[in-house]
Structure 1
Amino acid sequence: MFSSITTLERHMKTCPSVEISKYFKCSICGKHLASGKLLERHMASHKRQYQCDLCNKPYSNSTNLAQHVPLCRQSRQVASVGRVACEDCAKEFTDASVFRAHYLTHTHPFHCSCCNHRFRTRVGYEVHVCDVDQPCDQCSAVFRSVQALNRHFAVHGPPPHTCVSCRRSYYRKESLDRHVCSFEADIKENCKRKESSRFTCSVCGAVLATKHSLNTHLRSAHGN
């Protein structure tokens, strides 16, 4: 028993015993959605409440629009100047489609190797109903979502693959390879902050750790 239609629909997406036979069709563009809630969310995109000023693509909320704009702006830069540098890692691209695929590795780090879809969050990845069945590599069982597969893995014992940094464990090696370690991310962020907080001498280019050190350097080395 489920307390609401939403809860039932969420369950049906991950239940390995359920085959989705009913789809909800958008009356405007004909797209098929797996649930009434997804159709309702999709229909909102046709209302054009939020629209990109660069490409006129509509979005149902300001958050999705804000996530789209940097990609749109940088993709158009390829067309106008012939190249673009990724704002996240500085890697340069001369092909817009290749850049867009790369951009998603930053914004959608969770990648399903079976259906090739990407997701912003781990939860989104784990609960998605994959176009390709998810097989258990220890027995012949097959499931329709990573979440259902992970629940099944418990029957085979504790997860054997563990991240050496955050100690989070996984049943599949590819899940460990794919996971974004929060511990390592914090270290990288701290390094970025230290780099951005350094002070550069405008005369000789020397890099100092504090503003006081920079002032001392300017007086002693350049007489300022």
Structure 2
Amino acid sequence: MVLTAAAIAGGGFACALCGRVYRRRNALAAHRRTHEGATTCDVCGAHISTVHNLRQHLRMVHRLPTEEAHWHQTHVCDACGRKYKSRDALVAHRKRHEGRTTCHLCGTTTSNVQNLRSHLELVHHLPRAEVRRVTGFRGGWR
């Protein structure tokens, strides 16, 4: 997260893409979703401030039933068509299609990379260094 001099002086958080400043980090996080397209109405193209407000917009303006409005703005896997409510969940799912959650030793496919790491440690008794190498580990460890 990039803070501008004005944001730092005012104690705020600035969007690195458009410069808009927010007082709270979670408000900036919500704003960032507008740049990701998560709050753009795919019926009329309107940019809505939050996912909640987008769902209200779909129900009130486009007269979609509540259930349809809830799932209308989703992230869809282009490989299998499975729908996810968040971009992060879709990214985690896509790793399955890339083979990044399949055990190279026994062929077991896990739901996510963290579960693959646990599988390699607990079932195959691989040392952590080897697990990190095999899974392309780049983050913190539990």
TMscore range, shorter length: 0.3 to 0.5
TM-score in terms of structure 2 length = 0.33
Which has more strand, going by share of residues?
1
TM-score in terms of structure 1 length = 0.23
Q: Comparing both chains, which one has the higher relative contact order based on Cα–Cα distances under 8 Å and sequence gaps of 6 or more?
A: 1
